[in-house]
Amino acid sequence: MQNTKPTSKMFLDIVGELRLMIKAEGIEVGDKLPSERVLAERLQVGRSTVREALRSLELLGLIETRRGEGTFLADFKKHQLVEVLSPFIMQQTGSAKDARDTRIIHEKAAIQSICSDSRKQKLPVWKSLLMKLAEEGSVLREDIVREMIVATDNRLSLKIWFLLKQYSRVPYGKMTEVKENQIVSTLLEQLIEGHVFEALNAYERWIEEIEGEE
């Protein structure tokens, strides 16, 4: 019986078994896993126990289940891990200031990353944003920042930033002030030139301009 393992968590064993099975049978991303009923019989456990393990893996984004079809090995790129974890982390951490500071950390890191990128592959993005800013006189703040993070090609950072953005309700709307337009133009120009210090300087002035009293 499985009752001889009082200490270990059954469903954790199942998770391990599944991992071994995936490897042993050469199941690739997108392939179908054995059905819950088959797994239960093969592993000699109840179906509900199998389900607890599968639901855990699903929450992690390791598998994908489609009713009526089956369970499939998922592309881990799409993990909603950060989404699930963040509410708890934010709740236990609690500080709005931390959320803001951390968001800024990622935004600054993006600027530094962009300026250090010798290949300058993302140049067209900044130039088009700069042009749009000059023509229309206004751009969504969020678009600019998001493009910066996207440009770093770090999905994890992007996810974290996206979530933090929601926790620190920043006026990410349209820009109205002429002064702000000038600052952002400077920021973009420095990004294009790859001048880290100047770009960061412009960014900090921008933050100051937006959030003002802090």
Q: Decide whether 51 or 120 has the Cβ nearer to DNA.
A: 51
Dist. CA 208–CA 85, nearest whole Å:
30
Residues 158-187 that bind DNA (CB under 7 A): none
Within 8 A by CB and 6+ apart from 50, the residues are: 14, 36, 39, 40, 43
Q: Which amino acid is at 81?
A: L
Query: Three-class SS of residue 212?
Result: coil
DSSP-assigned beta bridge partners for residue 64: 72
Q: Rule CB under 7 A: is residue 22 a binding residue for DNA?
A: no
Give the nearest distance from C-beta 58 to DNA in angstroms: 8
Q: Which residues bind a second copy (CB under 8 A)?
A: 6, 9, 11-12, 15, 19, 22-23, 29, 48, 51-53, 55-56, 58-60, 62, 67, 75-77, 80-81, 84-85, 87-95, 98-99, 101-102, 105-106, 108-109, 154-157, 159-160, 163
Cα radius of gyration (the chain): 24
Residues that bind DNA (CB under 7 A): 2-3, 6, 9-11, 33, 35-38, 40, 44-49, 51-52, 54, 65-71
